[in-house]
Amino acid sequence: MANMFMRAIGKMNLAEPEFEDQELEYEDGDQYAEYEEGGELVQLHSEDMVDYSRIMTVRPRTYGDSDTLAIADSLIAGVPVIVNISDLPVSDQSSTLDFISGVVYALKAHFERVTGKVYLLSPQVVSIVDGEGQPLAREPW
């Protein structure tokens, strides 16, 4: 019975592999470049500078259209977005707001209602102030 069980395990490739002890051979010699003093330091920019004076305005016509996806792309690029959902069918408005909310949450961005169907979405690094110049209170996610 045990023999039959071991054959079944072998056919299902559940048995532990057998390793042969091998000795690795190393060659003598310098395989790495020598360190040289006096190199020039160059500063690399991980991201391009974002122009925060630019704001994208989007009026999606249907849920999932290219304008809806452009909202996410703009926020990822660090560009604030004004979204007007008044042209969307009522059935698509909540789905679009759910999508936008997910993008805002994932990017730790900000979501502000401007009017009944107009929203301001801003990247995390952009602060929004009220009419008196005071920063709007942010609720942590």
Taking each helix axis from N to C end, the angle separating 90-107 and 66-76, rounded to the nearest 10 degrees, works out to 20
- Output the pLDDT for position 81: 93
Strand order in the sheet with 110-115: 56-58, 81-84, 118-122, 110-115
- Output the pLDDT for position 59: 92
- Output the pLDDT for position 141: 43
Stated pTM of the model:
0.58
- The pLDDT > 90 percentage for the chain reads 26
Nearest to 113 by CA among 134, 128, 125: 128
- Output the pLDDT for position 125: 82
Is residue 88 within 8 A of residue 118, CB to CB? The reply is no
Domain residue spans in the chain?
56-122
- How far apart CA 56 and CA 120 sit, in angstroms, is 10
Mean pLDDT per 10-residue interval, the chain, length 141 residues? 67 62 65 65 56 82 87 90 92 92 91 90 81 60 43
- How far apart CA 45 and CA 23 sit, in angstroms, is 45
**CATH fold of the domain at 56-122:** Translation Initiation Factor IF3 (3.30.110)
- Output the pLDDT for position 65: 85
